[in-house]
Structure 1
């Protein structure tokens, strides 16, 4: 399975609502660098990345568009 980053943030909490929305739509989501940013949060170069499978990307784009339009 190949993953693609759809959003980045220095704070995991910024991504939790979107992750919850996607998972409620049946899309599995993953955090990359989740623990690195918790341990090394003083380094601004580290960001948490919200990732999804490339096979879900089209549906994710539709959901992001719906969110943006509202």
Structure 2
């Protein structure tokens, strides 16, 4: 299973809504660099990355499109 990044942000809370929605739809996700950005938030090169399995990409795109219509 390979993980792919589907969304990035310097602020972790920006991704938590998307992560919560994906998980409620049965898609497992993880936040990469979650703790690094909390400790080293003064470095703009560090971003939190929302990652999912590549096999869930199509469904995740559908969910994001639904969220944008609301």
Range into which the TM-score falls when normalised by the shorter chain:
over 0.9
TM-score (norm 1): 0.96
Q: CA RMSD in A?
A: 0.6
Question: In 2, distance between residues paired with 1:63 and 1:38?
Answer: 27
Query: How far does residue 69 in structure 1 lie from its aligned partner after superposition?
Result: 2.0
Which of structure 1's runs of 4+ aligned residues deviate more than 4 A?
A: none
Question: In 1, distance between residues paired with 2:67 and 2:49?
Answer: 19
3-state secondary structure, aligned to 1:51? strand
Query: How far does residue 67 in structure 1 lie from its aligned partner after superposition?
Result: 1.1
Query: How far does residue 6 in structure 1 lie from its aligned partner after superposition?
Result: 0.6
Q: Is the aligned partner of 1:30 residue 2:33?
A: no
Question: In 2, distance between residues paired with 1:26 and 1:19?
Answer: 11
Any unmatched runs of 5+ in structure 1? none
Query: How far does residue 23 in structure 1 lie from its aligned partner after superposition?
Result: 0.2
Any unmatched runs of 5+ in structure 2? none
Question: In 1, distance between residues paired with 2:51 and 2:57?
Answer: 10
Q: Is the aligned partner of 1:54 residue 2:43?
A: no
